Amino acid sequence: MFSNKDYSNMTPEELVSEEKKMKSGTIPTAFVIGMLAGVAVWSATSGKFFLTIGLLGAALFIGYQNSQTKKAIQAEIIRRKNDQ
């Protein structure tokens, strides 16, 4: 999920496979982000400020990394379609 793969060296089949993996991981990723946000809300109401900030930061980091990976895969697929 957080690997820095070079998508330009992958075959088209590998890119499609990576894209399918990312799509299949959408619901579990959303679940993890939701759980982190839920615990952050609980910790905020309990007066644990630093735990709240840490959990929300982790949720944002996971979401951002997931989004960037999807964009990189889709951009490479589009680039290859335009090259042909």
Q: Is residue 4 part of a domain?
A: no
The rounded percent of the chain whose pLDDT value lies above 90 is 65
**Residue 3 falls inside a structural domain:** no
- Residue/partner pairs of 62-66 with CB below 8 Å, 24 or more apart: 62/29, 62/32, 62/33, 62/36, 63/29, 63/33, 65/1, 65/2, 66/1, 66/22, 66/25, 66/29
How far is residue 21's CA from residue 25's CA, in Å, rounded to a whole number?
6
Does 5 reside within a domain?
Answer: no
In the chain, the number of structural domains is 1
**pLDDT single digits (tens) 4-46:** 778 888 888 888 898 999 899 999 999 999 999 999 999 999 9
Q: Is residue 1 part of a domain?
A: no
The range of the structural domain enclosing residue 17 comes to 11-83
Residue 30 lies in a domain: yes
